[in-house]
């Protein structure tokens, strides 16, 4: 989009001439990746019904920006080019990643886009997302609100970026809260996924990158399909960065032989949380999916941690790494799944307690923070977390 193609409504100097509702406060949703966009959509739903607010979107610079344009088109919202977005002023901006944020002109809310802040960067000494390198620019704090999922992250923030402590909002984890609300709908999710009565659903989840399960254990899915009895069905759940980084056609081609053998391929637009609620077992790597699966009581068999996949000490990811059953490729897989099943209840209590310190309250707390920065009163009553929905984009 060139400067000549910049939108003139609902933002811009001449926008008051063209809008139907004047005097609205504008909120910018800053989408770096499909993953962060999915998290932000749920946050923005907390304010977009307000008749005093206009929401607009933009695609921010990111190495994993593949797929974001289609994601934004699907929102049916007003989308500004990044070039226009960084030259306008907004009453609030909301982001779940960091690229380009210093260029924005708005009070900013920064949220995590995974299970809290459980990964480290560099030599493992710095917790990613709570460090001064990302939260400050030229010595100035970028965000007016830094959303944390657990109180223990305040200690990390105090050590790594003291200036951000006063901006911290401990708000729990909205993904976890919605998964808990979704548990009563497990049978419907299973039916939507084509899981028959009496079948055990084994979900194999991979994050992105060379340290992921998909990169390091190419023979795991074929072995599960071969070794598990017929009453089991196996599903592959890939991080959006795998789908959009390599292309949907290519990923499906890589999985085609396994799909022919019975693998259910969960497409990138299916809500992964519904898949975890539906699962009987989850085989995961160091990504966030294993954490959420363990937190709702699903048995987790953890792929052997990669040498450079370092988790933050005391985080939910770290507790999972130290307490989950580690998958051994030199042993039969069925027995390892059974061992993970026996450990699931204790692991749930350990992980959930570190994933959120405000269970059931995340949306209310995030909503209050956004309205505070907008300078508006919070309207109406708070809605309880809603169950997730699921699409039919599953190869059976």
Residues in the chain: 396
Topology, domain 182-355: Rossmann fold (3.40.50)
CATH label, 3-176+358-388, candidates 3.40.50, 3.90.700, 3.30.519, 3.90.1480: 3.40.50
Series of mean pLDDT values for 10-residue runs along the chain (396 residues): 74 92 97 95 95 98 94 96 97 96 98 82 75 92 96 92 95 96 97 94 96 94 95 96 95 97 95 97 95 97 72 80 93 96 94 93 96 95 86 56
Q: What is the pLDDT of residue 175?
A: 95
d(CA 157, CA 204): 33
Structure tokens at 95: 């982001």
**DSSP conformation class of 232:** E
Measured at the CA of 235, the angle between CA 193 and CA 288, to 5 degrees, comes to: 105
| Host H or E run for residue 108 | strand 108-110
Q: What is the pLDDT of residue 126?
A: 82
Phi, psi of 126 (to 5 degrees): -115, 130
Structure tokens at 25: 């406060």
For CATH 3.40.50.2000, list the domain ranges present in the chain: 182-355
Q: What is the pLDDT of residue 307?
A: 56
List, for residues 27-72, the tens digit of each pLDDT value: 999 999 999 999 999 999 999 999 999 999 999 999 999 999 999 9
CB 160 within 8 A of CB 152: no
Structure tokens at 156: 């990390």
Structure tokens at 222: 């074929």
β-sheet bridge partners, residue 266 = 237, 394
387: region left, alpha or beta (phi > 0 left; psi from -120 to 50 alpha) = beta
Structure tokens at 384: 């309880």
| Host H or E run for residue 342 | helix 333-355
The strand pair at 120-121 and 126-127 is best described as: antiparallel
**DSSP conformation class of 165:** G
Structure tokens at 337: 């799944």
């Amino acid at each position: 989009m060139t400067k000549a193609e910049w939108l003139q409504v609902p933002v811009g100097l001449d926008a008051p001439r063209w809008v139907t509702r004047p005097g609205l406060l504008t909120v910018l949703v800053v989408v770096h990746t499909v993953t962060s966009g999915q998290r932000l959509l749920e946050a923005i739903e907390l304010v977009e019904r307000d008749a005093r607010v206009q929401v607009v979107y933009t695609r921010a610079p990111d190495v994993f920006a593949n797929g974001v344009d289609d994601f934004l088109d699907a929102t049916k919202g007003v989308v500004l080019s990044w070039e226009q977005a960084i030259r306008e002023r907004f009453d609030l901006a909301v982001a779940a990643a960091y690229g380009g944020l210093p260029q924005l002109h708005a009070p900013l809310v920064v949220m995590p886009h995974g299970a809290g802040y459980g990964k480290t960067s560099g030599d493992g000494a710095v917790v990613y997302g709570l460090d001064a390198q990302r939260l400050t620019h030229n010595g100035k704090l970028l965000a007016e609100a830094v959303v944390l999922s657990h109180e223990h992250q305040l200690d990390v923030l105090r050590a790594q970026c003291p200036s951000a402590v006063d901006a911290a909002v401990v708000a729990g984890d909205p993904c976890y809260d919605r998964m808990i609300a979704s548990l009563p709908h497990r049978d419907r999710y299973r039916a939507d996924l084509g899981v028959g009565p009496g079948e055990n659903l084994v979900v194999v989840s991979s994050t992105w990158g060379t340290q992921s399960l998909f990169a390091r254990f190419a023979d795991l899915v074929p072995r599960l399909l071969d070794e598990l009895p017929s009453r089991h069905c196996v599903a592959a759940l890939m991080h959006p960065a795998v789908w959009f980084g390599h292309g949907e056609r290519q990923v499906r081609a890589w999985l085609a032989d396994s799909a022919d053998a019975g693998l259910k391929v969960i497409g990138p637009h299916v809500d992964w949380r519904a898949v975890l609620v539906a699962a009987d077992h989850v085989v995961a790597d160091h990504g966030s999916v294993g954490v959420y699966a363990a937190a709702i009581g699903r048995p987790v068999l953890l792929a052997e941690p990669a040498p450079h996949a370092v988790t933050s000490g005391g985080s939910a990811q770290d507790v999972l790494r130290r307490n989950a059953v580690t998958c051994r490729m030199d042993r039969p897989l069925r027995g390892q799944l059974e061992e993970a099943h026996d450990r699931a209840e204790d692991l749930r209590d350990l992980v959930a307690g570190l994933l959120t310190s405000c269970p059931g309250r995340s949306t209310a707390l995030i909503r209050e923070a956004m309205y505070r920065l907008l300078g508006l009163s919070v309207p109406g009553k708070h809605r309880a977390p809603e169950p997730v929905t699921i699409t039919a984009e599953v190869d059976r």
